[in-house]
Structure 1
Amino acid sequence: MSLRLTGFALPLALVLHTHAADLAGERQIYLIDGQGKEQAIGTLTVEADGSGYGYTLDLDLNQFKDHFLSMKEMKCLEGPELWCYVPYPYDTPRRITADDLRWLEHDLLFLFKKPDTFGARLWNGIYYPLEVSDEGTIRGEAHALDLNLIASPPEDLTTPPIGQYDIGDFKLEGRWLPDIEIR
């Protein structure tokens, strides 16, 4: 079973036209623990469509276990912590450029919890700000995010609502999966 998120047909007026060849193609998505051990969680397919880049995110939900947390079924990776996928709940254009990966960042939200704690705490959100490296790899490092921020829909559906002032730092050595790579 997989979760497929697409956005090739949706227009976005504020698309920047840079580094076309750097983004196109299919890539694997890996979450990486503090010792460098990788866990593949799905694929990202990016296609140029004349006005920018649409993408499809296909998470391999067979890698995740079902957990019923705070009255909601969640798909979680199990390790020293539960690392639960939190689908962004509103429509997005699923558009990116090499300089602006924010919609993809919104589609890769997680929350963490210790296995022995009760319920899900939305203030334990994980947000990976992403950058394209010189080699074309997309990389990100986990930051804290209070997921209560997305409890109601944003007024403007064309601009990603989560910004740099909404995310915070936390001790990465204390988190199970502090890094993400898409290559």
Structure 2
Amino acid sequence: MFKRLGLVITLICLSYSSFADSPLSGDKHVYLIDIKGKELMIGDIKFSNLAGKTHYQLHLDHSLFKDYFLSMKEMKCLEGPELWCHLAYPYSNPRTINQNDLSWLSHDLLFMYKKKSEFGANFYNGIYYQLSLNKGTIEGTAQAVDLNLLASAPDDLTLAPITEAELDEVEVAQRWLGRLIIK
């Protein structure tokens, strides 16, 4: 009986350990990677497993962002060679992900870029970080997306509206913050 109990405890510890070491568990930091490879930590994310689903809570460090009023909308922007403005996803989001689908997290990390000299906001210049798991980290590469598609709520709020069909390649070497990493 003690052997079985020991085996059960060992299995529980192993499964907890593998979950705790997972890139989709615990507390992590969110970094944007600039054109020169420098990491800029913009916030934290906490992953938790509840009812068999991986939930996340994202907290961006707004002290790094400057307030801009663009096209009748207040935006939090990072300043560099370009303005890189965070656009919070405006509709219901379950904030759940799994190893095969990180799209809701990508929706919480939407940005728009613009030159400082340009007037207003151009939501056509949207950035969607297409996320994937890679050797213990979550990595994202900037993809172009026309964020005007979020001007009205999607028909089905349970599905992430930005899909592969809406994305276009970005010349990452031409964008200030073309990559993202969560570790």
Which category of TM-score, normalised to the shorter sequence, fits these structures?
0.7 to 0.9
Q: SS of the counterpart of 1:149? A: helix
**1:65-85 CA-partner distances (Å, limit 9, x unpaired):** 001111111000000000000
Identify the residue that residue 94 of structure 1 maps to in structure 2.
95
Give me the CA root mean square deviation. 1.1
Q: SS of the counterpart of 1:165? A: helix
- Does 2:155 align with 1:158? no
CA distance in structure 2 between the partners assigned to 1:148 and 1:51 by the alignment: 34
Identify the residue that residue 142 of structure 2 maps to in structure 1.
142
**1:13-71 CA-partner distances (Å, limit 9, x unpaired):** xxxxxx84521110000000111111110001000012211110001100100011111
CA distance in structure 2 between the partners assigned to 1:173 and 1:88 by the alignment: 26
Identify the residue that residue 54 of structure 2 maps to in structure 1.
53
- 1:1-183 superposed matches below 5 A: 20-21=19-20, 22=22, 23-134=24-135, 136-183=136-183
Which segments of 5 or more consecutive residues in structure 2 lack a partner in the other structure? 1-17
Q: Could you state the TM-score of these two structures normalised by the residue count of structure 2?
A: 0.87
Which segments of 5 or more consecutive residues in structure 1 lack a partner in the other structure? 1-18
CA distance in structure 1 between the partners assigned to 2:108 and 2:170 by the alignment: 21
Bigger proportion of residues as helix: 2
CA distance in structure 2 between the partners assigned to 1:50 and 1:40 by the alignment: 30
Q: Which amino acid aligns with 1:126?
A: I
Identity of counterpart residues, as a percentage?
51
Q: SS of the counterpart of 1:122? A: coil
Q: State the number of aligned residues.
A: 164
CA distance in structure 1 between the partners assigned to 2:175 and 2:103 by the alignment: 22
CA distance in structure 2 between the partners assigned to 1:43 and 1:175 by the alignment: 23
CA distance in structure 2 between the partners assigned to 1:44 and 1:30 by the alignment: 11
Cα shift at 1:128: 0.3
Please say which of residues 71-80 and 165-174 is displaced more in the overlay: 165-174
Identify the residue that residue 6 of structure 1 maps to in structure 2.
none
Q: Which amino acid aligns with 1:99?
A: N
Q: Could you state the TM-score of these two structures normalised by the residue count of structure 1?
A: 0.87
CA distance in structure 1 between the partners assigned to 2:121 and 2:168 by the alignment: 19
Q: Which structure 1 residue ranges, 4+ long, deviate > 4 Å from structure 2?
A: none
Q: SS of the counterpart of 2:165? A: coil
CA distance in structure 2 between the partners assigned to 1:119 and 1:100 by the alignment: 33
CA distance in structure 2 between the partners assigned to 1:94 and 1:20 by the alignment: 18
**1:147-181 CA-partner distances (Å, limit 9, x unpaired):** 00111101111111110010101221111000000
CA distance in structure 1 between the partners assigned to 2:150 and 2:74 by the alignment: 18
